[in-house]
Structure 1
Amino acid sequence: MSAALDDLAILPATDQPYDIHYQDDVLLVVSKPSHLLTVPGRHPANRDCLISRVQREFPTAQVVHRLDYDTSGLVILPLTKKALSEISKQFQARTVEKTYQAVVAGQIAESGTIDLAIAADPEHRPLYKICQQTGKPSVTRFQRLQYNAQQDNSAVLLEPITGRSHQLRLHLAAIGHPILGDTFYGGDIVAKARPRLLLHARQIRFNHPLNGKWLQIELAPDFAD
């Protein structure tokens, strides 16, 4: 095995299946479980992923956006080239609206906006970092749902205005409220607080690629604090 291959992480795929939450002739909206890649990873051991599983039943399914390995929640999968093209345009125009739910350490403010540029961190790949000088503009809105004083954590809704890699995880860690279970940016205590990252793509809203009607799909997370 080459040294480059040795450097690639092996990410064991969960046995938990995906579920279909919307289906018609041109698209699916499915839920990806935590601990599953959206697309195959670079390491040969990381071939099992959401799209490979879905394509066993729907061979024409394609990926138009992704969720991190650790993140659960809703994913749109077009079934035709036209649907793929139309939904891709919506993502490029930032008209697709997504809401995430998370549980974070500490008592976060009732609401707010995090506006911190994000750049790759070449010295600590695959991590990213806050860098106002070289980073890309990155904006996240948040709203606290509740604060658990006994456990000192907050349930929060998150709306990413931009779609940078690791944006939600990094933004929340940067303001002192890392997501529980975050092994990248949470530190040892937060990383070990839960067996998975408590981040879930709860709601997605977009225009149907054929009839233009507004579609809104919602799925509550299977974690609670």
Structure 2
Amino acid sequence: MRKFVITRQEEGRRFDKYLKKLLPQASSGFLYKMLRKKNITLNEKKASGTEVVAAGDTVELFFSEETFSKFSGKLSREDRGERTGAADLSYRRAFRGLGGISVVYEDDNILVLNKPAGVLSQKAERGDVSLNEWMIGYLLEKGEMTEEELSRFRPSVCNRLDRNTSGLVLCGKNVRGSRFLSEILRDRSLHKYYLTCAQGRIERELVLDGYLRKEEERNRSEIIGTDVYRKLVSARPNAQKEYKRIETVIEPLAYRKERDCTELRILLVTGKSHQIRAHLASIGHPVLGDRKYGWKPKREEEGGFPFQLLHAYQVEFPEAEGEFAGLSGKRLTAPEPRWWNV
């Protein structure tokens, strides 16, 4: 028999979803059968799987050790302990080894980090070390999570920035926090603002729209206007699956004559891959340092920009209720990057 206690990180999840995470190799049919036969119980009672678990709830599995190992994907307690130690060490190494990351805001449910340019938000390949590993290592170091809890719920970043874009990244520390952040990102009630320097002079506020398609092989986004999109879809209806509508609001702050560039404050209404970079390039004003989207230095000293000058500097939360009421209308701001005042 195995017994588990629901933690704060796990509460708020449906019981059947929790079980699927705990026993990833088991089919849904098997899990519901075990519930009906009371081989799986919640708080020592028969459960249907539709219950929402809370911190402190107890889950009991009346399985043999062999059955549990089979459906959990873990070979043995000894093997599990060995893997646990290795994973724990890798997260802690990421926390201690990745420099320049800072905590902008933290409560019981969410964590907002300031990511420096050059750090991945999430792994691109198996051997990568990213902000996500740093965040898990941070929670382990604080004692807010254990390795055993990580096997059932893994905190994660909820919005991703390009590797060379700096600024605010939102992370869910538990199921409730992840769900809340995912919802306000999906319904666009969270407002996200960026700072950048674009080549050339932009004199007035612009509301840009269009349709974006990501070219995965080239890791580059293409933008077309509404009229072109309509003609394309009329001729090839399947094109609407490839292109996503985008909207970007651009507010000029100042023109730097010596660099022939405009400082911009940008509201990212939609959030697609490379949206700001591709949208600015499409109107002839690429982000400084962004060679992928056509920026070319006009002076010798400008050739030293190691990355695009783009910074996710502020988020504004919508009105919220319940345990997230403290975030209602709250603005969080990351410090300006060094290049902003150079």
* TM norm structure 2: 0.57
For residues 29-72 of structure 1, the C-alpha deviation after alignment (integer angstroms, 9 at most, x for no partner) is 11010011100112x44x11111111111145321111111100
- Residues 157, 193 of structure 1: CA spacing in aligned structure 2 closer, same or farther, 3 A cutoff? farther
Residue 87 (structure 1) aligned with residue 177 (structure 2): no
SS across alignment from 2:129:
coil
TM superposition shift of 1:106: 0.7
Matches of 2:271 and 2:102, distance apart in 1: 24
SS across alignment from 1:113:
strand
Runs (4+) of structure 1 moved beyond 6 Å? none
What are the equivalent positions in structure 2 for 1:165-176 lying under 5 Å apart?
A: 165-176=273-284
Matches of 1:109 and 1:15, distance apart in 2: 39
Query: In the alignment, residue 146 of structure 1 is paired with which amino acid?
Result: A
Give structure 2 stretches of 5+ with no counterpart.
1-96, 141-153, 233-238
TM superposition shift of 1:196: 2.1
- Residues 195, 129 of structure 1: CA spacing in aligned structure 2 closer, same or farther, 3 A cutoff? same
Matches of 2:247 and 2:202, distance apart in 1: 17
SS across alignment from 2:193:
strand
- Among candidates 119, 123, 127, match of residue 36 of structure 1: 119
TM superposition shift of 1:184: 1.4
Matches of 1:115 and 1:87, distance apart in 2: 25
Give structure 1 stretches of 5+ with no counterpart.
1-13
Matches of 1:164 and 1:126, distance apart in 2: 13
Judge which range, 19-28 or 203-212, deviates more: 203-212
Matches of 1:108 and 1:16, distance apart in 2: 35
Q: Which residue of 2 aligns with 1:51?
A: 132
Query: In the alignment, residue 113 of structure 1 is paired with which amino acid?
Result: V
SS across alignment from 2:103:
strand
SS across alignment from 1:58:
helix
Q: Which residue of 2 aligns with 1:5?
A: none
Q: Which residue of 2 aligns with 1:142?
A: 250
- Between structure 1 and structure 2, the one with the greater Rg is 2
Matches of 2:202 and 2:104, distance apart in 1: 31
Query: In the alignment, residue 138 of structure 1 is paired with which amino acid?
Result: I
Q: Which residue of 1 aligns with 2:208?
A: 114
Matches of 2:266 and 2:333, distance apart in 1: 14
Name the % identity: 27
What are the equivalent positions in structure 2 for 1:60-209 lying under 5 Å apart?
A: 61-121=155-215, 125-131=218-224, 132=229, 133=232, 134=239, 135-189=243-297, 192=303, 194-207=305-318
Q: Which residue of 2 aligns with 1:7?
A: none
Query: In the alignment, residue 324 of structure 2 is paired with which amino acid?
Result: N
SS across alignment from 2:182:
helix
- Among candidates 323, 326, 336, match of residue 210 of structure 1: 323
Judge which range, 89-98 or 209-218, deviates more: 209-218
TM superposition shift of 1:189: 3.0
In angstroms, what is the RMSD of aligned CA positions? 2.1
Matches of 1:118 and 1:52, distance apart in 2: 30
Matches of 2:178 and 2:98, distance apart in 1: 28
* TM norm structure 1: 0.85
Larger strand proportion, structure 1 or 2? Answer: 1
Q: Which residue of 2 aligns with 1:17?
A: 100
Matches of 1:162 and 1:64, distance apart in 2: 15
Q: Which residue of 2 aligns with 1:11?
A: none
SS across alignment from 2:114:
strand
SS across alignment from 1:28:
strand
Query: In the alignment, residue 198 of structure 1 is paired with which amino acid?
Result: L
Query: In the alignment, residue 196 of structure 1 is paired with which amino acid?
Result: F
Matches of 2:110 and 2:280, distance apart in 1: 32
Native 8 Å contact 1:64 1:76 kept in 2: yes
TM superposition shift of 1:220: 3.5
TM superposition shift of 1:193: 5.5
Query: In the alignment, residue 222 of structure 2 is paired with which amino acid?
Result: K
Native 8 Å contact 2:199 2:295 kept in 1: no
Matches of 1:206 and 1:155, distance apart in 2: 24
TM superposition shift of 1:199: 0.2
TM superposition shift of 1:25: 1.4
- Higher normalized contact order (CA 8 Å, seq sep 6+, divided by chain length): 1
For residues 59-103 of structure 1, the C-alpha deviation after alignment (integer angstroms, 9 at most, x for no partner) is 453211111111000111111101111211111111110000001
